[in-house]
Structure 1
């Protein structure tokens, strides 16, 4: 990569032109993620982790960061969701034509899986930022004729198959990705692991450092050389979310020598190979994805120093067209620096309400197209859309359905839009979807109208977060690492009604950016708080004072939209993870001004 590719990288929040070029001459950042939401027509993601990765890369491209990314191809996608009349979920594959979006690269590399040699190629997708800077995303592919039929399928399905399939995919992503980087001629200075799925890249780096030497010859110096290159972001406070593999399984898939190295270096926990411990052991910088998640992660892994960089979303991707037009007219430079969205306070309230009305009309037209149901644009509409996992408690709204109905009747109507997929192997998650749909059907024809929209994806998510009036989130504490759907809603002036967990602890200004569901001893207590806020604060304000409601929309954008975005987040990764102050000072580079609220 030529030096000229670094020239447009700067911190747009500062009045000075800041360049990291002197330090970055030694190499680029390589970003690894099992899933990346690259393009709405490419089913290479399942949900929050992949969407975050895609938004990160979009902002990195906007800012001109010298970075490349690696993921798997996922030829058959995640899955397309179908829901029958009773709310039973079924799934089908999402095949797509790779050549319509990506360019095949010439190099071939190999990895060893269960003593088999598996050959890999890479397909390149060029992501172009607003400045014209291009980030190359490489999608690794094992579907080659020299591989066995089984090995050809290893890059077909995102989160498909069993734990053997998962471990083999992680070898391809981590070890195959490092080898492909070298084959493509990239000089890398920082390796960023987005979750533990990519942790085995550290093993590839260690083996390169040792030159193939025996496991018992590893020195702490070898480990430290690898550590100085690696950054790790952990995303889950749920123990089951950390990939773990049995010892016998790991030996069989990885080989006894490789497993032995990892075991010797403390990467096993409770007699299992734990990918989070692999990443922790080999990273000089580790972070959680919200301030609270940083606290939880430090409690889970007390032997490691863990920082926090709160997630964000890519504003131009998630702000609806009416609001983009409004901001383009009234807020100079908001696309370059999202902090300027603070100036939403100065936009006339009537214009904000009008922009939202257009977004709501678009959403309800899509609901009608999908379901045949015509909803009322004047009626308060709540949105709840996320992965159908039990800890997210999609049915908390229905804890006392008669009370919810009474609130709807007193409000002159209440509409709730649901969406979300359950993993094909998650039977409790599927049962949760069925439960919500079953309860919703009981109130058909009443003042309470509930619609569950199938096949939640990028495009439906954008319509929902822009078009509903209030965004609802009800996770069981402390299992929400961050959450980003409420951030997308905030960029469109949609306030949240949410449990104080994840990002919402930082984003909740009661009555200004939304409302907090108070902690309770059990689900019933928290549902009671939800009903009270809905009945006594939200419904009354929405129905009786449009001007005051518009004011909340403005402060939601000004306070939360201006901060919870990847424009700010990527700058924090640069400053704290990729090129921290000490490194920048060593390179005699002037530091950028701090970005914050």
Structure 2
């Protein structure tokens, strides 16, 4: 019997398609978009499903004190997407909810393309409440989230069937789409009602699950009473038949893992951590990567085009960056830095200068990321800066609307802006998105990453920086456990310190004794480190390599 041609259906609650489309909140969505961009480049047959968020995640507004306010995003899907005629229905709280869809295409460097379908419940015939199910990304309470997950998992599978697409693999990007696997099991059992083990095995043959969450509290859980009310008794009773350890809640990650034949974390370290959370299942490691052409600044892209013409289709060719003259890399970075400084100075009276050493910290504003670590001892920071002739630090990032501690962190950065003058200048740029992220990762001189280990599943911003010749200073966690090469790709903050004070002290010491002396005192050696970041880090931590691993280990084989 001839095997079916490979077709991978990729389901994700968020996918970053472009800065103009409010279909993502942060790293999970950006990773999803890069995954699909790599598929378009390399010709891997994929189709993606997500939700259409008419009001987006939120538009961040910061006042003069750094207080975050959230505004709905205003956009018109019909200006960016094409509506498809197929329509399906999902039963939610006993009501038949119609689910429409829109489509866009991701086009690749080699002429390939990947369709992305965005599910939409703002459909004529639905009740007003149901029309709002897909309004907000990560909005509302448990009930709203579970309704969305029903639309994504159940509606996503049904839409693909209505389009007469028959995936050979379903890739569930986090637990939000795990209900798809449960419905596949229900369909299998309709054909073999007395063979639960065989039905589970058949579903596992078709499902791949990726977890991005290194702590138990980060996985979606819903009380069974709520799940019964939203999804109906049959699905909840089917969940109860699974061999997964049960509680009074439905754990969406545990569900996806139970029904997937291949399960992976997103770095070597994260896979080890995840194995402890899900005993009895093998958690493989496929370390994340970023889409090289998307995250490399225009001037640096031009350098790569000249010296490594095949890099857009084969990102591993960036290993050849060692043959690029360092002055070409430095000149391209200077252009990226100028663009960033111009952007910063447009946002206020920051007086950033191109000649000053600039540190970047841009990511979700939440406690474990430790945004404030570099500002923990302002006296010491000013002392380091005064010795070396001034520092600039650019911050960006959104706090979840309900993350009060994250919001307070942003406010604390604003309070320090005057305190650190004149030797340190600080800017916090509002509205962190793909465009701003690209400007910052490309334009700074050093990328800073200071999470509490082992809470960083992977992290990808440092990979983007490396594509632009920007070295990293990072805690040894996530991807940096693999990406750090001493004397080449950056610097490491050793784990195991007993307090934030100790970590901050080490950060200041490395800046004062290693990084700034190299940058200001040995510019040729600094340029060599920039080049090594491209050749050794970017050549591996890219989405082409990542997708190749999924293809070889998860999509193509039989387990």
2:403 aligned partner: 426
Q: Give a deviation string over 1:87-134, Cα, whole Å, max 9, x none.
A: 110010112111112111111111111111100011011111112212
SS in 1 for 2:98: strand
> Hey, what's the Cα distance between the residues in 2 that align with 1:291 and 1:326?
32
> Hey, what's the Cα distance between the residues in 1 that align with 2:373 and 2:18?
33
Does the Cα contact within 8 Å between 2:396 and 2:428 map onto a contact in 1? yes
Task: Give 1:511 deviation, angstroms.
Answer: 2.4
Does the Cα contact within 8 Å between 2:192 and 2:199 map onto a contact in 1? no
1:488 aligned partner: 464
Q: Are positions 1:180 and 2:156 aligned together?
A: no
> Hey, what's the Cα distance between the residues in 1 that align with 2:43 and 2:115?
12
2:233 is matched with which residue: 250, 256, 259?
Answer: 256
Does the Cα contact within 8 Å between 1:266 and 1:277 map onto a contact in 2? no
Q: How many residues align?
A: 557
Task: Give 1:372 deviation, angstroms.
Answer: 3.5
Which residues in structure 2 correspond to 1:532-547 (within 5 Å)? 532-547=509-524
1:143 aligned partner: 122
SS in 1 for 2:473: strand
Which residues in structure 2 correspond to 1:276-295 (within 5 Å)? 276-295=253-272
Task: Give 1:342 deviation, angstroms.
Answer: 1.1
1:78 is matched with which residue: 30, 50, 57?
Answer: 57
> Hey, what's the Cα distance between the residues in 2 that align with 1:218 and 1:447?
71
1:164 aligned partner: 143
Does the Cα contact within 8 Å between 2:265 and 2:286 map onto a contact in 1? yes
Which residues in structure 2 correspond to 1:177-256 (within 5 Å)? 177-211=156-190, 217=194, 219-256=196-233
1:515 aligned partner: 491
Q: Give a deviation string over 1:546-592, Cα, whole Å, max 9, x none.
A: 11110000001000010000011001000000013x57xxxxxxxxx
> Hey, what's the Cα distance between the residues in 2 that align with 1:315 and 1:569?
12
Q: Are positions 1:384 and 2:346 aligned together?
A: no
SS in 1 for 2:75: coil
Q: Are positions 1:505 and 2:481 aligned together?
A: yes
- Tell me the C-alpha RMSD between the 2 structures: 1.3
Moved over 3 A (4+): 266-270
> Hey, what's the Cα distance between the residues in 2 that align with 1:204 and 1:270?
21
Does the Cα contact within 8 Å between 2:378 and 2:420 map onto a contact in 1? no
> Hey, what's the Cα distance between the residues in 1 that align with 2:313 and 2:112?
13
Q: Are positions 1:34 and 2:34 aligned together?
A: no
> Hey, what's the Cα distance between the residues in 2 that align with 1:502 and 1:269?
30
Does the Cα contact within 8 Å between 2:97 and 2:121 map onto a contact in 1? yes
SS in 2 for 1:51: helix
Where in structure 2 are there 5+ consecutive unaligned residues?
Answer: none
Does the Cα contact within 8 Å between 1:37 and 1:45 map onto a contact in 2? yes
Does the Cα contact within 8 Å between 1:243 and 1:274 map onto a contact in 2? yes
Where in structure 1 are there 5+ consecutive unaligned residues?
Answer: 1-21, 584-597
Does the Cα contact within 8 Å between 1:267 and 1:273 map onto a contact in 2? no
Q: Are positions 1:354 and 2:331 aligned together?
A: yes
Q: Give a deviation string over 1:462-499, Cα, whole Å, max 9, x none.
A: 00000000000000011000000000000000001100
Q: Which moved more, 1:369-378 or 1:205-214?
A: 205-214
> Hey, what's the Cα distance between the residues in 1 that align with 2:285 and 2:192?
36
Task: Give 1:428 deviation, angstroms.
Answer: 1.1
Does the Cα contact within 8 Å between 2:133 and 2:144 map onto a contact in 1? yes
2:434 aligned partner: 458
Task: Give 1:210 deviation, angstroms.
Answer: 2.3
> Hey, what's the Cα distance between the residues in 1 that align with 2:80 and 2:233?
39
> Hey, what's the Cα distance between the residues in 1 that align with 2:145 and 2:277?
23
Does the Cα contact within 8 Å between 1:268 and 1:274 map onto a contact in 2? no
> Hey, what's the Cα distance between the residues in 1 that align with 2:274 and 2:362?
26
